[in-house]
Homo-oligomer: A and B are copies of this chain.
Amino acid sequence: MPAKQQQPVILITNDDGITAPGIKNLVEAVKGLGKVVVVAPDKPQSGMGHAITIGTPLRLNKVENMFGEVEAWQTSGTPVDCVKLAVDKVLHRKPDLCLSGINHGANHSINVLYSGTMSAAMEAAIESIPSIGFSLLDYSFEADFSAAREYVFNIAKWVLNNNKEKRLLLNVNIPQLPAAKIKGVKVCRQADAKYKEDFNERKDPHGKNYYWLTGEFLNFDKGKDTDVWALKNGYVSVVPVQFDLTNYTLKKQLEKNKFLK
């Protein structure tokens, strides 16, 4: 007969790197919910999207005393590499839950594509591991995570206890407000927004040009059911995310077309 009940195994990763305050806050928030294991990048990996490391090998090293009693590993890879390494070389099994973050900065709307935080969570979901990416709308490393931690705990606990979905993947963004000012949680769709690029052109000391990526965030979406709207109005936004990227509407249209038959 099996033992009463095994503790759930919770894998934690991020894209800001293992030393970022956000991941420490995530570990602290959920460590009462199960056996937590951290496998995170050894350096910042923001904007890495769903990148994987093919052309170079990866390092994987245990880190002592960074999260108290919690087992922790750092890798030289991307956030997605971290999840792959965690399952294959650290846990030797699928965890019961994967949490990514807490990201320093927003990952709403189109950011889901660029975000290493969300790509790590998506990689776990591809493996049928229920998975949540958390982001706080504050880029500062001195950000106040106290309200975020409450929501992280409640949402992670709810998923552990109630989820029946084979491939649950949530993109959770938390406004930078004191807990008392947050109005609650809103299930949303991804806002239709993008960045207008404006590369900052400079000259190096040798007279050659180089370019910094900068841009302006543009939200075209007037809907009140989007993540951007929810965050602006004091809610925690929860967007359920999928990785079947087929555009079924366009598929139907193209199937009617002669050339493509």
Contact = CB atoms under 8 A, between A and B. Distances in A.
B197 A88 contact: yes
A146 interface: no
A254 B185 CA distance: 11
A154 interface: yes
A3 interface: no
A52 B47 contact: yes
Counting every copy of the chain, the complex holds: 2
A58 B254 contact: no
A213 interface: yes
Interface of A: 44, 46-55, 57-60, 78, 80-81, 84-85, 87-89, 110, 112-114, 119, 122, 126-127, 154, 158, 162, 165, 168-169, 184-185, 187-190, 192, 194, 197-199, 201-202, 208-213, 238-248, 250-251, 253-255, 257, 259-261
Contacts of A51: 47-51, 78, 114
Contact of A246 (B154, B184, B190, B250): B190
A77 B246 CA distance: 27
